[in-house]
Amino acid sequence: MTKNVNETDVAQNEFPKQEQPEPGLQKKMTPVPDDGSTSYIGHGRLKNKKALITGGDSGIGRAVAIAYAHEGADVVLNYLPAEEEDAQDVKNIVTNLGRRIALVPGDLRQETFSQQLVAQAVSFFGDFDILVLVAGKQHAVFDIEDLSTDQLVDTYTTNVFSLVWLIKAALPHLNKAGSIITTSSVQAKKPLPYLVDYASTKAAIRNITESLAKQLAPRNIRVNCVAPGPIWTPFQIAGGQPQEKVPELGKNTAMGRPGQPAEVAGAYVYLASGDATYVTGETIHVAGG
């Protein structure tokens, strides 16, 4: 592990209002989030492991992919086709670190795509060791009377159904001692009033993590969760927060600032690594206190 970000820089950073259409591109953000590409120092903790990562183009998933490559893993990334530019940047970073990477764009809201994604991962690197589920959707709506059925279905399909579909598709191809890592949020326990649909999916994810941890332990597969607090990613500026909240992001944490994606990646490294062989059904909060 390493010190991922320069604390002084982060403390001085400002996070101005800025808006992009969903899903947003990280390269167009001001400031550009820290993905750990130059600051993360690996210690071979995932040497020659193989990881399939969703939401891997930007934000937290991207920082995880880059940390995994620093730690010696090869990766397959899923993301939406509109995010190709960000994904190509990750491909360059991972390749320059000397690891293999395959990009598999596609929409996880289609159950059939989960099977295609797993099939493409298997054809790239064979059966794999780590499944990291980071993809998610968050769209702020202040009044439940304005929460459309389309959004409700979309949020649940993206955040919950796709997670179950992908785990089902991946299980026959997870190596012994495999690891599944899901992504919840502090919203699971302390929901904001304008994230009714999103926050409840994040509670469901924690619950699913715990039941699957029990179900899959006899198969020697561990299932754990990371619950981030406010992290500076495209999520925040592509509809996830009302614009007026963007400059305030993270100010209500003990640390008084949002986290950077590189500061979250270490939890995903730990849970996938040989250090965590007796850890399952757990949630690690990375939330600034």
Least distance (Å) from ligand NAD to the CB of residue 274? 25
- Count CB neighbours of 172 within 10 A: 9
Q: Tell me the number of residues near ligand NAD by CB under 6 A.
A: 31
The stretch among 58-66, 117-125, 265-273, 277-285 that binds ligand NAD (CB under 6 A) is: 58-66
Comparing CB distances to ligand NAD, the nearer of 44 and 193 is 193
Kindly state the helix (H) or strand (E) to which residue 74 belongs, with its residue range. strand 74-79
Active-site positions read 198
Footprint of Mg ion (CB under 5 A): 23, 57-58, 83
Closer residue to ligand NAD, CB minimum distance, 33 or 42: 33
Quickly tell me which residue has 């397959």 as its tokens: 76
Give every CB contact of residue 21 below 8 A, 6+ residues apart in sequence: 238, 239
| Closest to 235 measured CA to CA, from 105, 49, 83, 44 | 83
Residue among 42 and 230 whose Cβ is closer to ligand NAD: 230
Q: How far apart are CA 184 and CA 138, in angstroms?
A: 12
Widest distance between CA atoms in the chain? 51
Give 178 or 228: the residue with its C-beta nearer to ligand NAD.
228
55 is a contact residue toward ligand NAD (CB under 6 A): yes
Closest separation in Å from C-beta 164 to ligand NAD:
14
74 is a contact residue toward ligand NAD (CB under 6 A): no
- The yes or no reply on residue 136 touching ligand NAD (CB under 6 A) is yes
3-state secondary structure 243-283: HHHHHHCCCCCCCCCCECHHHHHHHHHHHHCHHHCCCCCCE
Which residue's Cβ has the minimum distance to Mg ion?
58
Phi, psi of 130 (to 5 degrees): -135, 130
Beta strands in 118-214 (DSSP E): 128-132, 174-183
By CB under 6 A, tell whether 79 contacts ligand NAD. Answer: yes
Q: Is 224 in the site for ligand NAD (CB under 6 A)?
A: no
Q: Of 58, 114, 209, 260, which lies in the binding site for ligand NAD, with binding defined by CB under 6 A?
A: 58
Task: Please give the residue ranges that form the binding site for ligand NAD (CB under 6 A).
Answer: 23-24, 54-55, 57-61, 78-80, 83, 107-109, 134-138, 158, 183, 185, 228, 230-231, 233-236
